[in-house]
Amino acid sequence: MIKSMTGFGKAEAGGFIVEMRSVNHKFLDVSVKMPRDLLALESRIKKAVGDRLSRGRVEIFVNRGGADEVKRAFKLNMDAARQYVGAMNELKSVFDLPGEVDLALITSMKDVITEEEVAEDIEAAWASLSSALSGGMDMLEKMRALEGEALAKDIASRAAFIESGIAAVEKLSPVTVQEYARKLRERVEKLSDGIELDPARLHQEVVMFADRCDVTEEVVRGRSHLAQLGSMLEADEPVGRKMDFLLQEINREVNTMGSKASDQGIAHTVVGMKAELEKVREQVQNIE
C-alpha cells in the first residue's frame, strides 16, 4: 500500500527523546537539531532515516531527558570559594556588619559551583540514541501508512470517475459522427436547391470527419494508464514520482479527446475528467 509523506513520530530510550515530523518534498531532505556534543552522530541519523524513507522533508529533534537522563557533572571551585569567604569576612570586620557567611550565601556566588562539560562516549550514545530513533521512525511510518491508505481510497474513487468519463466519450463519439452526417446532408440539400447530391462525396466528407474525431487510441491508452495507476496504489514501494508522470500521460490523452470533440456532451465530460485529474495530481504530490 502506498505511503504519505506526512507524519509524526516520537520515542524515548536510553536517556534520549527523539521527535520527528515529515511533510511532502520532491526528494529526501533530512534536518537534525541536537545537542552540540552529539553532532558527530548527525550523519548516522541521516543515513538511518535514508535507509527507511525515500522522499519527504524530515525534521528531527534530539533531546536528553526521561528516566535515564544523562547525569550532569558539577565542579567545585575551592579557590573562588576561599576568596569569597575571605572577602565577606573582611567586609564584616571593617564595617562591623551583622550576619553569618553561610553555605547558601557562598554557593550562590558566581563560579563557586560550575557545570563541567562531560566528554560523551559517542558509541555508547549512539547505541541509546539509535534505539529512540528507531522507535520514532516506527511511529512516523505507521502514521504515513495510515495517511497513504486514505489517499489511495480517494485516488481510486476519482480514477473510477475518470474511467467512467472515458467510457462516456467512447459511447458518444460514434453518435457525434452520425449527427454530423445528418446535419451535413440537410445543409447540402438545403443549399443545392433540388440538385441531385453525390452520395460518394458526402460519404467522403463524413469519413474525413470521423477520422478527425476518432478517439479510439486515446481511449485505449487512457484505460491502460488508469490500470497502471490502480496497480501502483497497491504497490509496496515508493511510487509517487511514477504516479506524477503517469498522470501527465492521462491528462495528455484527455486533452486530446477534448481537442477532437465537436460535441457539447463530450466537451462537458472532458472538463469533468480534467477537474478530477487535477485533484488526483494534488493528492499524488504527498505520496512517497
Instruction: Name the pTM for this structure.
Output: 0.70
- Residue 68 is predicted with a pLDDT of 45
The three grid cell numbers given for residue 94, joined into one nine-digit string: 571593617
- Residue 5 is predicted with a pLDDT of 95
List Cβ neighbours of 57 (8 Å cut-off, separation of 6 or more): 5, 22, 23, 24, 25, 29, 31
C-alpha dihedral, 226 to 150 to 277 to 164, nearest 10°? 50
**Integer Cα distance of 205 and 180 in angstroms:** 10
CATH of 7-69+120-145, one of 1.10.1760, 1.20.120, 2.40.10, 3.30.230: 3.30.230
- Residue 29 is predicted with a pLDDT of 96
Residues of the chain with pLDDT under 70: 66-72, 116-120, 174-213, 262
Q: Is 44 helix (H, G, I), strand (E, B) or coil?
A: helix
The three grid cell numbers given for residue 194, joined into one nine-digit string: 433540388
**Integer Cα distance of 136 and 20 in angstroms:** 7
φ/ψ of residue 73, rounded to 5: -110, 135
Strand-pairing partners, residue 8, are: 21
- Residue 121 is predicted with a pLDDT of 80
CATH 3.30.230: which residues of the chain? Answer: 7-69+120-145
Q: Is 270 helix (H, G, I), strand (E, B) or coil?
A: helix
List Cβ neighbours of 2 (8 Å cut-off, separation of 6 or more): 148, 151, 152, 232, 233, 235, 239, 240, 287, 288
